[in-house]
Amino acid sequence: MADFLAMGGYAAFVWSAYGVTALVLAGLGLATVLSARRARAALHEAEQQIQGRRRTSRAQARAQR
Amino acid sequence: MQRFANPGQFLRLAAVVQPWAAGVGAVATAVGLYFALFLSPADYQQGDTVRIMYVHVPAAWMALSIYLGLAVAAALSLVWKHPLADVAARAMAPIGAAFTALCLITGSLWGQPMWGTWWVWDARLTSVLVLFFLYLGHIALANAFDDADRGARAAAVLALVGVVNLPIIKFSVDWWNTLHQPASVMRLGGPTIHGAMLAPLLLMWAAYMGYFVVVLITRMRTELAERRLRALQLNAEQATRMTASAVEAG
Amino acid sequence: MSAVVALIGRDLRLALRTPGDSATVVAFFVIAVALFPFGVGPEPQLLARIASGVIWVTALLACLLSLDRLFALDFEDGSLDLILLAACPVELTVLAKCAAHWLIAGLPLVITSPLLALVLNLPFDAWPTLLGALALGTPILSLIGAVGAALVLGARRGGVLLPLLVLPLYIPTLILGVAAVEAAASGLSATPHLLLLGALLAFAVPVTAVAGAAALRQAAE
């Protein structure tokens, strides 16, 4: 196991290459997921708002009648 | 009216494709890493540093093919005005830039033990560096306008100009490199690749592709949600303005 | 054709009324080159070795400096819309603007370059090649720059964005231009490099005309 981790003496280079790859791809993935969640929440809120407004305006119209 | 073009078909297709891509990507990552780190032999010249190749070379493939994808999306956007093309291009560019950066970083980590230096102005490295700059320019231009559509179309023109220039840049960098032969640098890609090394390369490429498809679809969905949100806000604004003028008139 | 001539004439007249613009570009070119001996030291051999690169890179940056005026002024005062409405195809308009830009910003650089070759101690044999390479190369800079300038019209922080878009695309011109001068300085034939530079120019004319026209149409929408 120690032999494997040592990578024939090049451990620093091999493992940091794999580490950087994992880090960058995970970082981009995380940013993507977070922005997706934010966008979905904002859209949901806006849709709710519009529906709410429609309901109140309809109610107002009914009351006026 | 294009702002309201129905992306329903895309969303349905995406919902089918995404889990499959995620599955294939996860399996390829696991098997590919096992091949890359355990099964594949150490190179007789480069020792274990050759394992860096399995994250480095597929990243280079991704960097190039995503730029070509960007150009195809740009052509679809400019010539056929396909509304999804802009969405795809905007979603693709950061992923391509990430793979290009990875290619440069891992290449540098490979270069230090093999060449004794972090960076060589070798033709390939220089070309990839320029490709990274092209990605950065594309991302910056796409986000530089208040009107998202204008940004997308400007970025599309830039992507096409970039893809026409890519072979010229590659040629001129090769030309430059033969004039200034870097001193005593071991050339890469000389020996033909052994089968035991090809398998992890292809597996890691499949893993990257799976990752690319999953992230691309998520980003495109986000972009579509944002566009829909903008359209809704615009509509709501118009509606309030109309009721206001109706009240005034009434 | 008369529209093209009229457009070039208009831009030249505008430039002649504010001669400061051309002078600023040339002044930047000279001052930036004059900084290098302070940076790398005054040894004549060293300066001669880096002269071609320094002159080319600085010419590139000087050209970049003048690009944001290529379309931006016409865009701001609305005359760009009128120019695009004229019967002349937009592609030709782009080429006319580039020609005018080269006459205003590129040609002065070519004319000043021997002075800089002199102070940087560039071998005399390489002077004609330097002039030739700059004469072939600076129009390419104007053409590529025009596409970038048209793309950033109306963008936030367009002035900062422009170098990011244009500089990577300038690399082939830089490489071929420097290679030509270096070949001549070391007594080799510069012809292949100059021919390639000419080919690049011939290729750049149609490509940048089409791309620039596409970018201008979007900006004017």
Cα Dmax for chain C:
57
Domain-embedded: residue B26: no
| Average pLDDT of the residues of chain C | 90
CB-based burial label for C12 (10 Å; 0-12, 13-18, 19+): middle
| Average pLDDT of the residues of chain B | 84
Please tell me the predicted confidence (pLDDT) of residue B183. 46
Mean per-residue pLDDT, B41-65? 83
| Beta-carbon separation of C215 and B154 below 8 A | yes
**What is the domain count for chain B?**
1
**What is the domain count for chain A?**
1
Domain-embedded: residue B201: yes
Please tell me the predicted confidence (pLDDT) of residue C185. 87
Domain-embedded: residue A61: yes
CA distance readout (Å), C125 to B16, C118, C176, C182: 68, 12, 18, 11
Domain-embedded: residue A23: no
Task: Report chain A residues touching chain B, CB-CB < 8 A.
Answer: 4, 7-10, 13-14, 16-18, 20-21, 24-25, 28-29, 32-33, 35-36, 39-40, 42-43, 46-47, 49-50, 53
Residues of B in contact with C156 (CB under 8 A): 144-146
| Beta-carbon separation of B109 and A13 below 8 A | yes
Domain-embedded: residue A54: yes
Domain-embedded: residue B190: no
Please tell me the predicted confidence (pLDDT) of residue B125. 81
Contact partners for chain C, using 3 or more CB pairs closer than 8 A, are B
Please tell me the predicted confidence (pLDDT) of residue B192. 54
Domain-embedded: residue A14: no
Domain-embedded: residue B12: no
Residue C90, pLDDT > 60, answer: yes
Q: Which domain holds residue B145?
A: 51-179+197-225
Domain-embedded: residue B188: no
Count the residues in chain A: 65
Mean per-residue pLDDT, B224-241? 84
The structure tokens 């701001």 sit at: C76
Q: How far apart are CA C59 and CA C53, in angstroms?
A: 10
Domain-embedded: residue A53: yes
Looking at per-residue pLDDT, the higher value among A53 and C88 belongs to: C88
Q: Which domain holds residue A52?
A: 40-65
Q: How confident is the model at residue B191 (pLDDT cuts 50, 70, 90)?
A: very low
Domain-embedded: residue B240: no
Residue of C97, C203, C135, C58 lying closest to B161 (CA atoms) = C203
Domain-embedded: residue A55: yes
How far is the alpha carbon of B132 from chain A, nearest alpha carbon, in Å?
Answer: 15
The string of pLDDT tens digits covering residues B65-114 is 999 999 999 999 888 888 889 999 999 999 999 999 999 999 888 888 87
Q: Indicate if the alpha-carbon torsion angle C213, C218, C219, C220 is positive or negative.
A: positive
How far is the alpha carbon of A26 from chain B, nearest alpha carbon, in Å?
Answer: 10
The string of pLDDT tens digits covering residues C178-219 is 999 999 988 888 888 999 999 999 999 999 999 999 999 888
Please tell me the predicted confidence (pLDDT) of residue C66. 87
Which residue of B lies nearest to A23 if distances are taken between CA atoms?
A: B102
Residue of C164, C146, C154, C177 lying closest to C53 (CA atoms) = C177
Contact C90, C216 (CB under 8 A): yes
Domain-embedded: residue B25: no
Q: How far apart are CA C94 and CA C87, in angstroms?
A: 14
